[in-house]
Amino acid sequence: AQKVTQAQTEISVVEKEDVTLDCVYETRDTTYYLFWYKQPPSGELVFLIRRNSFDEQNEISGRYSWNFQKSTSSFNFTITASQVVDSAVYFCALSETSTDSWGKLQFGAGTQVVVTP
Amino acid sequence: DSGVTQTPKHLITATGQRVTLRCSPRSGDLSVYWYQQSLDQGLQFLIQYYNGEERAKGNILERFSAQQFPDLHSELNLSSLELGDSALYFCASSGDNPYNEQFFGPGTRLTVL
């Protein structure tokens, strides 16, 4: 069963618009970690953020912000004032801490963000 | 640049063949992970090694195997290749804590004809 759901396949925005990417996860672990990665057209996977299940404080890094809500099992990502360079596929991932997990990342299907000038 | 290197960048081969993908983790990282990215399956975890020992296994086919050497580099061996094995194969590394962020290499794009 899919443990990370990114329901938005593609989002198209015009430069300077804000864009929010949804991520819903499913786990029975009480301790777990959530991640966001960016995959630009060049293909590499770039780490953006890591969050543990006990830290529900929202985080802001420049134009990026993350909203973690344990009550709804969501870890959403917002890009403020989008730029063309933000065009990429964004992946949400879950790392569970049960014995056989050992840090393996379980990725969502990804959301393609297209920012046009 | 993540500090993780993968070779080769591209690989084109025929069905039935065997290939080896190589990965060098970031300096000091003991954990190496392999992932496969394909259009139909998305990003899937294959296998993880920590300081030379296999620690976790995911959706890795029996035709695939991996190992991590004493110098911590890792190799992923794919044999009896099928058309469906065409994909982007990523290696990632992380430090002592397996739940730290993983840093990904540029990937090896495998095309099986």
Q: Does B34 touch chain A (CB under 8 A)?
A: no
DSSP string, chain A: --SEE---SEEEEETT--EEE--EE----SSEEEEEEEE-TT---EEEEEEETT----EEETTEEEEEEGGGTEEEEEESS--GGG-EEEEEEEEE-STTTTT--EE---EEEEEE-
Distance CA A83, CA A74 (A): 25
| Closest chain A residue to the Cα of B92, Cα to Cα | A45
pLDDT of residue A22: 98
Contact at CB, B101 and A35, closer than 8 angstroms: yes
Residue among B35, B43, B99 minimizing CB distance to A103: B99
Instruction: Report whether pLDDT(B19) > 90.
Output: yes
Closest CA to B88 of B80, B79, B78, B97: B78
Contact at CB, B50 and A102, closer than 8 angstroms: yes
Distance CA B75, CA B37 (A): 17
- Chunked into runs of 10 residues, chain A (117 residues) has average pLDDT values of 92 97 95 96 94 88 94 96 97 89 91 97
To which residue do tokens 């392999």 refer? Answer: B34
CB contacts of B58 in chain A (<8 Å) are 104
Instruction: Report whether pLDDT(B48) > 90.
Output: yes
Residue among B100, B101, B106 minimizing CB distance to A44: B106
Contact at CB, B43 and A110, closer than 8 angstroms: yes
Q: Is the separation of the CB atoms in A24 and A73 below 8 Å?
A: yes
Which residues have a Cβ under 8 Å from the Cβ of B112 and sit 6 or more positions away?
B13, B14, B15, B17, B81, B82, B83, B84, B85, B86
Chain B interface mutation, best of A4, A105, A107, highest count of B Cβ atoms under 10 Å: A105
* pLDDT top residue among A61 and B12: B12
Distance CA B91, CA B87 (A): 13
